Amino acid sequence: MNHYLLLSVIFISSLSRTNAIKCYECSQVRTAQDGAKTRLCSHFDFSEAYIVDCEFSTMCEKRFSSVKITGQINVTSRGCAKQKYEYQKYNRAEQRWHGEVEVQEPYEEGCITIDNKGLKISYTEHCYCRRHLCNSTLNRNVFGGVYFVSVIAFTSIVFKSFLS
């Protein structure tokens, strides 16, 4: 009986890993931990090298920032949406603390602009989506554009069927 339970747990955990959303990931700077393995957005080319499995996320994210100081600097980064919540939980029976992990859903699909508090020197936009590799777009407004095109196409189909 215990073997069946163990096999079931292994099977279910393997399913959760294979069903993770895939996102493009790149950053603007090399991190001390990753060094040469860091995927730089300046070299982003939509290749498999930039694809990651987001084990603790159900969404992809694309961040676009623009800063005007002496000239305009645009920065784009991609990755898994930050949804992992880690905390400690006390188990009274075992009389010890152990780590817990939850995947939270704090974001809605679409783009939001960060309020710059009246400063006109910067602009930041975060876009979230739920399809594999959906953070690939070059145009940051495509998230809304896809919705708009879908509405137009649906309206056209309904209108044609109404006339027939």
pLDDT tens track for 14-72: 444 446 899 999 998 876 666 567 789 989 999 999 999 999 999 999 999 888 878 88
Is the pLDDT at 13 greater than 50? The verdict is no
- Residue 67: DSSP 8-state: E
Q: Measure the CA–CA gap between 84 and 89, rounded to whole angstroms.
A: 16
Q: Are 48 and 22 in contact (CB under 8 A)?
A: no
Q: What is the pLDDT of residue 76?
A: 92
The structure's pTM equals 0.66
Task: Report domain extents, the chain.
Answer: 2-163
